[in-house]
Structure 1
Amino acid sequence: VFDYAMAIDLPGSLQLYKGIEGFEGKQFKDVRWLFLRNIFADRLYVRKDSGITSFADLKGKKFCPGIPGSASAAYVMDYNEILGHEIDLVPSALGDAITALKENRIVGMQKSSGLSNMDAALIEVNLTTPLTVIGYSEEDVKKIQERIPYMTFLKREKGSIVEFPDVGPIWEECPIAGAVATAAMPEEVGYQIVKAYVEGFDEVVAAYGPVKGFDPVGDYFKNAGDDVVPAHAGLIRYAKEQGIEVPERFIPPEYKE
């Protein structure tokens, strides 16, 4: 059984691989990247009537960074500390955060969303409580990546988010999400999983729209930064068969040509 719902983001798998953050003292060097699901945005939504236009503008304001204990909430809390913005962060369950947003008890909330669209949970909210999206400045991104080099940020140009055509350019934190395995999984098994996923990709898209437009093999090697989780030997074999270049930093010690 392959539980597709349990996809992990690259920052989380890197923390496990390195034994840092929540995995301090629990390093697991045998984790291997299997295939990419999609790239999403840990998006910062605010009430349009708040007048807030950037992450820095949240200084002193009540803002929900996400669900307590979630990786995305922890990242926002880290960024607040790194940048010294002194935001009044209020981690909350999704339903509680939406209620607080409607009642103007918080000015906004972080919600993981597809790259090009508003999260479905906020569509109805936006009808009665107009929202907008804010992002980080280029200077913010530089400071964050000095401390957390494995975080991925993308510059989103004006019109990148369908429901907010006037938003942009902004920088958003955009983690890579996908499936991982271990070095103990045989190359042949990993290869067959990746092959089946790619060959059945149209069926996957029909069931889970946010993966549409992503290359589950090539996009990992193209979009991951300098700090990576090694690829599974089966993924590397499949990629090379397809003529996809696999840079040296992705090659694990167990892989043999």
Structure 2
Amino acid sequence: MTITSRPITRATALALLLTGLASMHDVLAQTGKLNLFMGSSSSSSTSYPIVVSEARVINKHVPEVQITVLETGATHDNMQRMARGQLRITGATGYDGPVMAYHGLYQYKAKPLKQVRTVLIERQPVLMFVVRADSGVKTFRELHGKPFYAGIPGSGAEFNARLLFKKLAIEPKLTFGSLADGVEAIKEGRIVGMVKYSPGARSIDSSLMDIKTRIPVRILSLTEEESKAAEVVPGHSRVDLSSDSTLLKGIQSEAVVAIGVGAGIFASADLPADIVYKIIKGLDEDWKKELGGTFADLATVDVIGDTIRGAAGVEQPVPLHAGVVKYFTERGHKIPATLLPPEWRN
């Protein structure tokens, strides 16, 4: 294909993509590069700098594209923007969003997002139910009737906590607000606890660090029966945190059974396979240098193995992107049939 250069600024090209008024080929023809927004999360999130680093690696290895990180409302906001054609690649996205969108669950029932594809599963944030140690609450059942912060309205943590509470027939007195509101409320004793995701399975974020430096806290553990009930939460799987887990260090000495969700990068099926091939290849080759050495939860990531295991390890998986299948196959890995997208099989 011959690329014809026409006068258009990069800002204009990005604006066109954001509003969904320009196709990828339109922008490629006018700029010589495929300008893509990469959905992420709030800039104050611990996930945001990870996406920025990933975008830097992609821009380094894929000269045909220019990635610009876009601050968003994270998982479900990213899926909604992809459905509107505003995003074709997202980072900082929990696997539960793509699972729900692809399979038409809950808010996606009327209009499934069949074009979403898995590119990378890089870490496993844990859904943590944190309570004050002096609250007397030691089990999920004891949350019934007590004031509890359920998260930012519309967030993944809030939605999934509600699903779990409903399945367990538990009705805490739920409060909502910003994360800062929840942190202050638990420190001041206005609530017994709160729900939030950890950055991954190996570290806690600054908000929980802030809380535990002010008051003793504990992480509630699911019973065997409750962990089976937790299967109602899409895209999640059981996580067993041993007593010496770095996630529990400085909080408690008891082991915890929780649920976690894969998180990483997802793309639209209409993003060309050769582009996505170069994206995942570049991330794989530069992972230890650019990401593993900077972020604790990414230090031991096996880009290929963790992605296959993470994507296939739930009841309703989301297929890999065709470009990812090609790269993983070339590296000698067998792809489960459930992860092969229709465009690859055809």
Using structure 2 for the length normalisation, give the TM-score.
0.69
| Contact preservation (8 Å) 1:38, 1:216 | no
- 2:152 paired with 1:152: no
Q: Which has the greater radius of gyration?
A: 2
Aligned residues: 255
* Structure 1 residue runs without a partner (length 5+): none
User: Which residue of 2 is the match for residue 130 of structure 1?
Assistant: 216
Q: How does 1:21-60 map to 2 (within 5 A)?
A: 21-60=106-145
| Contact preservation (8 Å) 2:150, 2:195 | yes
User: Which residue of 1 is the match for residue 278 of structure 2?
Assistant: 192
From 66, 87, 90, the counterpart of 2:175: 90
How far is 1:48 from its partner? 1.2
Kindly report the root-mean-square deviation, in angstroms, between the aligned alpha carbons of the 2 structures: 1.9
Give the aligned residue type for 2:201. Answer: L
User: Which residue of 1 is the match for residue 189 of structure 2?
Assistant: 104
- 2:295 paired with 1:216: no
Larger RCO, structures 1/2 (Cα 8 Å, 6+ apart): 1
- Cα separation, partners in 2 of 1:60 and 1:41, compared to 1, 3 Å: same
How far is 1:2 from its partner? 5.9
How far is 1:165 from its partner? 4.8
How far is 1:216 from its partner? 2.5
| Contact preservation (8 Å) 1:111, 1:119 | no
User: Which residue of 1 is the match for residue 267 of structure 2?
Assistant: 181
1:92-134 Cα distance to aligned partner (Å, 9 max, x none): 2111111111110101111211312332222132122111211
- 2:331 paired with 1:242: yes
1:166-223 Cα distance to aligned partner (Å, 9 max, x none): 131x221201001111221222111100011111112123444332212222112223
Q: Which runs of 4+ in 1 moved over 3 A?
A: 147-150, 206-209
Give the aligned residue type for 2:220. Answer: I
- CA distance in 2 between counterparts of 1:153 and 1:141 reads 7
1:66-109 Cα distance to aligned partner (Å, 9 max, x none): 11110111110111111101211212211111111111010111
More moved, 197-206 vs 9-18: 197-206
1:20-56 Cα distance to aligned partner (Å, 9 max, x none): 2122312111111011121111211111111322222
More moved, 66-75 vs 17-26: 17-26
From 72, 86, 97, the counterpart of 1:12: 97
> What SS class does the counterpart of residue 125 from structure 2 fall into?
strand
Using structure 1 for the length normalisation, give the TM-score.
0.91
How far is 1:144 from its partner? 3.0
> What SS class does the counterpart of residue 249 from structure 1 fall into?
helix
User: Which residue of 2 is the match for residue 121 of structure 1?
Assistant: 207
Give the aligned residue type for 1:176. Answer: G
- 2:246 paired with 1:164: no
How far is 1:59 from its partner? 1.4
Give the aligned residue type for 2:263. Answer: A
* Structure 2 residue runs without a partner (length 5+): 1-35, 39-50, 53-90
| Contact preservation (8 Å) 2:117, 2:267 | yes
- CA distance in 1 between counterparts of 2:100 and 2:269 reads 17
- CA distance in 1 between counterparts of 2:153 and 2:293 reads 31
| Contact preservation (8 Å) 1:66, 1:93 | yes
How far is 1:256 from its partner? 5.3
- 2:156 paired with 1:65: no
| Contact preservation (8 Å) 2:103, 2:316 | no
Name the % identity.
29
- Cα separation, partners in 2 of 1:2 and 1:243, compared to 1, 3 Å: farther
> What SS class does the counterpart of residue 192 from structure 1 fall into?
helix
